[in-house]
């Protein structure tokens, strides 16, 4: 049940990343095709989406919610494990008693039935534990994905707004990696990195109790 930061919360799916980069490359090549003067006039912006995502106070809040959910799930699972351990110990106790040759047939039959009932309850609880663990893990992963998408969408909209306000022709994510793990943006002579400005705007209305990145 990994938290947001452990997952590194991939900023985009592979398909969307490839599509976006293809579009950006096409736009850049098209701009270059317009001629040297036009290419020189291009205003390029740069944003480190990974840094922005990690330093946004809502990401910290989301991580806390996920960790709280993990703690609650662990407590509930521990309670089931404790009950399961008690049943196993009780069954073993009956098994030892049944080895006593002095037991009457009636008492032996009674203890055998009780042992069988305990074993049945233990098997049922074991299945329940497995289903509970899988269900809670699935719920937490879905929660992580929902919060991740919501945060990224909010960041993306702000970047778009700031890009228009500052009249950038192209904006690149310098934290993006290509299919071979090579950074997508290797160098930009005149590119302006406005990641810190994005972070400042995102955290402008952060609660007073929020952790300062």
In the predicted model, is pLDDT for residue 133 greater than 90?
Answer: yes
Give the Cα separation of 38 and 64 in Å (integer): 48
What global pTM score does this model have? 0.66
Give per-residue pLDDT as tens, 84-118: 999 999 999 989 988 888 888 899 899 899 999 99
Q: Which residue has the higher pLDDT, 181 or 117?
A: 117
pLDDT of 173 reads 86
């Amino acid at each position: 049940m990994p938290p947001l930061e452990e997952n590194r919360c991939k900023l985009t799916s592979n398909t969307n990343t490839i599509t976006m980069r293809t579009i950006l490359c096409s736009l850049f090549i098209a701009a270059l095709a317009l001629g040297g003067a036009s290419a020189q006039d291009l205003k390029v912006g740069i944003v480190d989406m990974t840094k922005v995502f990690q330093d946004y106070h809502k990401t910290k809040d989301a991580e806390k919610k996920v960790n709280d959910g993990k703690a609650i799930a662990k407590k509930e699972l521990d309670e089931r494990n404790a009950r399961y351990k008690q049943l196993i110990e009780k069954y073993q106790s009956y098994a030892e008693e049944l080895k006593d040759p002095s037991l009457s047939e009636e008492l032996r039959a009674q203890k055998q039935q009780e042992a069988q009932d305990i074993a049945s309850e233990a098997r049922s609880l074991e299945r329940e534990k497995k289903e509970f663990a899988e269900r809670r893990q699935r719920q937490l992963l879905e929660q992580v994905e929902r919060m991740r998408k919501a945060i990224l969408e909010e960041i993306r909209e702000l970047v778009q707004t700031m890009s228009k306000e500052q009249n950038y022709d192209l904006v690149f994510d310098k934290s993006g990696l290509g299919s071979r793990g090579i950074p997508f943006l290797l160098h930009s002579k005149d590119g302006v990195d406005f990641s810190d400005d994005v972070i400042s705007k995102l955290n402008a209305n952060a609660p007073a109790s929020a952790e300062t990145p």
